[in-house]
Copies of this chain bind each other. A is one copy, B any other.
Amino acid sequence: MREVAIIGASQTKFGELWDISFRDLITRAGVEAIEDAGIEGADLEAMYIGNMSAGLFIKQEHIASLIADHAGLTPIPATRVEAACASGGLALRSGIMAIASGYHDIVLVGGVEKMTDVVDPTPAIATASDQEWEAQQGVTFPSLYAMMARRHMYEYGTTREQLAMVSVINHENAAKNPKAQFPMEITVEQVLNSSMVADPLRLLDCSPISDGASAVILCPAEKAREYTDTPVYVKASAHASGTIALHDREDITRIDATVHAGRKAFKMAGLEPKDVDVIEVHDCFSINGILAIEDLGFVKKGEGGLAFEEGVTRRDGDIPFNPSGGLKARGHPLGATGIAQAAEIVWQLRGEAGKRQVEGAEIGLTHNIGGTGGTAVVHILSR
């Protein structure tokens, strides 16, 4: 299997981007990644795009070719990959395989979502859950994650304040990220006083509706130093499926797909959680930040809340968590998230993360979830 490296990364500002279209947004991210890698568009041999639901958000399918066309890159092969909110992470895995297989050398992997062009994005987002058994009955994602949070509180004594700390730490980091949707600090009190969405989750426990795009450039590891002095190597790419509907799970305080993908990734990389210097995990709701560090093995089951309360997950703690600001504060344009996570880890490992730099980071991990855990994708990257 050919090893793969990342030689370029980009992310547009995340937010409500009224002044730019879907196709311009991803093209902008692509051009910036190409410039960052120091290559030309003509060097690209293939493109992979992670996107959850352009069909429902902007009434456009067939988007990978549309993007290749709009960016002047035809006739390169352009493939869209979809796995709900894990579409970006899965597109990255597909791009890695395209190189590992020997089919292609220089590959652009992008992620994009334009969520603010519809009046109500909720029905589109709900298609990541089980339409027949969940969405059609009126269950939405905040309510699904609220049940997971409530059960976690019941089983492990996780507190409302500990949940709030996930958002507080995300915002601490986002305040230092100029590309974040909400680059400001917040307090536990502000979280606890924000409007109720689905008990116990309040507005400041929830990731926002976002527009945004992100891209990375991949090449075979043995060629990476032809392009850059600071290549980032893919040590593991793992992916697992899980039950779509929450009621089918043995235990809703655990996301089995995360557990499986995490174990596979650590095995593939020959590493353990303690070897990892920085993580970007899928905190679509505050509870998921806690589940992620538990299910990936960074802390014992049930001790995730305490890790946030004690600040272990702060940028200068033992488990530097979401230096980008995470889904909560960097923003969560669904298909772009998995790529933005990888881009942040690339910048961290290169030492280019500015005021939010985790000192001396050499190994990073990304964790991208679809739905309530029907999909999990984990990547381990190293300097």
Contacts and interface: CB of A to CB of B under 8 A. Distances in A.
B59 A123 contact: yes
Nearest to A66: B244
Contacts of A93: 79
A98 interface: yes
Nearest to A128: B62
B127 A55 contact: yes
Interface stretch (A180-188, A199-207, A367-375): A367-375
A38 B142 CA distance: 44
A195 interface: no
A103 B130 CA distance: 29
Interface in A114-134: 123-124, 127-132
Closest 7 CB pairs of A and B: A100-B101, A101-B101, A65-B374, A62-B84, A77-B239, A1-B102, A75-B240
A244 B374 contact: no
A114 to B, nearest CB: 12
Contacts of A2: 101
Contact of A62 (B59, B79, B127, B248): B127
Given A59-B135, A69-B241, 4 more contacts: A59-B127, A65-B84, A74-B242, A75-B256
B241 A78 contact: yes
A131 B84 CA distance: 22
B78 A80 contact: no
A61 B128 contact: yes
Nearest to A237: B103
Given A59-B131, A81-B79, A81-B80, A65 B371 contact: yes
A56 interface: yes
A73 interface: yes
Interface in A47-103: 52-53, 55-56, 58-66, 68-69, 73-84, 90, 93-94, 97-98, 100-103
A240 B75 CA distance: 5
A103 B94 CA distance: 11
A90 B48 CA distance: 12
A131 B58 contact: yes
A134 to B, nearest CB: 11
Interface string A281-309: 00000000000000000000000000000
A358 interface: no
Contacts of A327: none
A284 to B, nearest CB: 14
A127 B22 CA distance: 14
A347 B211 CA distance: 46
A31 to B, nearest CB: 17
Contacts of A242: 65, 69, 74-75
B56 A56 contact: yes
Given A241-B74, A243-B74, A79 B94 contact: yes
